[in-house]
Amino acid sequence: MIDIDGFRNYLYEEELSQNTIATYIKGLEMYAERYNEITKPNLIEFKRYLLENFKSQTVNLRITALTNYCKYKRLPERIKLVKEQKKTHVENIITEEQYKKLMHCLKKDNQRWYYNILLLAKTGMRISEALRVTKKDILAGKVTMHSKGHMRTIYFPKSLIEEMKDYLKRFDDNEIVMQNHLGQPITSRGVSGKLKEFAKQYDIPKENLHPHAFRHFFAIEFLKRNNNIALLADLLGHSSVKMTQIYLRQSQEQQQKAVDEAVNW
């Protein structure tokens, strides 16, 4: 019998994020729909099913979920992750031109979301972090919070504080700043849905307008002005500089352009 409720409690006690818990539970539920117990043959068959129906990244998420379940149940069974081709380019990043267009339109049409996105683009925060930021945090210039299993400090640049100063007057010191039109805290899903609306409204490619896009945008724009990759890794909360080095590479479109210009023989 697959113990989904017990696994959920275990993940909560391990202090994993809500999104990670939901992802792991989804993987275990998919397995439980097909099998009643964890065995090596079942795991292998389930992996084959995943490979036939999902991309490698999703397959690895499901496998990781089962690996953690086996750890919870103290079972010896394991299956290997799928080897993914190392990315040689960054993808789905809002361009500087698209960002300026979006912010110009929002400043006229929707100031609340103008400042919500400004907060993301000028800090490089994860959405899960931004949804916890208060007025007091921003005015203090930095906040230390628990994220991805460790404590990290997020900095709010002077240019951001200055631009948000008047807007912040409507909030109490300990009030969450990222809110919807009803004055309620936003969810990750709410942010994603709103960005899809803006993509359609302002004719911006929807694949470039997603919650994580502004974290990518921050990283690339920061490196244009300060080429300290180790500092950027710290600012993004990466556990290794290797994770950050992807931002040193050109986008797929830039690589294509470079090839087109160079290969003229």
What pLDDT digit, counting tens, does each position of 95-129 carry? Answer: 899 999 999 999 999 999 999 999 999 999 999 89
- Whole-prediction pTM: 0.65
Tell me the pLDDT band of 183, cut-offs 50, 70 and 90.
Answer: confident
Closest CA to 47 of 29, 33, 66: 66
Q: What is the pLDDT of residue 246?
A: 72
Decide if 129 contacts 145 (C-beta within 8 A).
yes
Beta bridge partners of 142: 155
Does residue 242 carry a pLDDT above 60?
A: yes
Decide if 77 contacts 39 (C-beta within 8 A).
yes
State both tokens at 186. Answer: 């936003």
Q: What is the pLDDT of residue 91?
A: 67
Residue 112: partners with Cβ closer than 8 Å, 6 or more residues away:
179, 180, 181
Phi/psi at 157 (5° precision): -65, 155
Q: What is the pLDDT of residue 224?
A: 85
